[in-house]
Structure 1
Amino acid sequence: MGKKEAGKPRGRMSAYAFFVQTCREEHKKKHPSEGVQFAEFSKKCSDRWKLMGPPEKKRFDQMSEKDKSRYEREMAAWTPTEEGAGKRKKQKKDPNAPKRALSAFFHYCAEERPKVREANPSYSVGDVAKELGARWAKVTDKTKYDALAAADKQRYEAEMANYRGGGGAKKQKVSPVKAVKAPVAEVDESDEEEDDDEEEDSD
């Protein structure tokens, strides 16, 4: 595991991770002087989680979604240090490799960024990113962007299948998925790099 770059946003937490965190806090309140046996505690948490139904897990799912928005917002505003940027440059990418699929948030950014820039011409790149993150947090119906992300994921998987099948020598063209309307050209390169980070953190 590589060393985390200083200042980089904390990775997002899953619903189960929030559940375990809550269980740990409850245990500390009930038994403040008692230590936690990790293996036994983890097994109990796992067993409890398996017995819980969707209604009981709902609040943890909501906590996870909220943390995901926090993570995407912070990643959009985060700028790698020179040291971190230098490490990125050492990683050579095959120019023939398919473009990574964008998340719902980045499809939203591609659509809204021109509007934010037009309304705020004096904004820096960081200011625009923060504004987009703030707006995204207020979006109540993200169905459209989830659909775009799902379609883009299918496009990426199809292109990767062709890419791997062809040995990566030549990128075979795949018919674009009609559902993906957000033009990739409108997405800043920094967005794509951030999306790479998101996938790496979720591994």
Structure 2
Amino acid sequence: MGKKDGESKPRGRMSSYAFFVQTCREEHKKKHPNDTVVFTEFTKKCAEKWKEMTPKEKKRFEDMAERDKSRYEREMSSYVPTGGQAKKRKRTKDPNAPKRSLSAFFFFCAEERPSVRAANPGIGVADVAKELGKKWEVCPNKPKFEQLASEDKSRYERDMVAYRGGSGASAVPKASPKKAKVEAEDDDDEDEDEDDDDDE
């Protein structure tokens, strides 16, 4: 039960149920040393046994778990991690890389969030998100937001081609999602103006 040679970090603590399963396995090995144990079936039987046990019968294993918890806390209090353990490095994002495209739902949220907040003052971020999700389900203007998303995706693909083909810096100036939205709305207004001119 002690630490193995070469191990620096203390062994994790065991629960009362883990001690019970370990004890059952040891007893089974003593009685049937040549049997191969199917782990899933064995643990299922242990779980059934554990459920049927009285608190008095479980006390022995709970005491073992309590002693192990004390051992773990004692060892962890003096444990200092060594620098030899490899840590995962977080991939650094290139600040010159183009901003990813937004989905139709994100464009919808950008437009609807202020009205949801105004209608429900004091609600949290999660509740705002839930409300936006409900509104999105019944939104009659989905094609409008899907068009904005499609345009933003095209913008992103163009920017990525320029970014990968260039020296690492995007040759196409990046437009923020809000700017892309405003530009898209301006384009719609111009189209409407042209339609009005045609009518005259």
Length-normalised TM-score, structure 1: 0.42
Answer with 1 or 2: which has the greater Rg.
2
Ranked by relative contact order (alpha carbons within 8 Å, sequence separation 6 or more), the top structure is: 1
TM-score by length of 2: 0.42
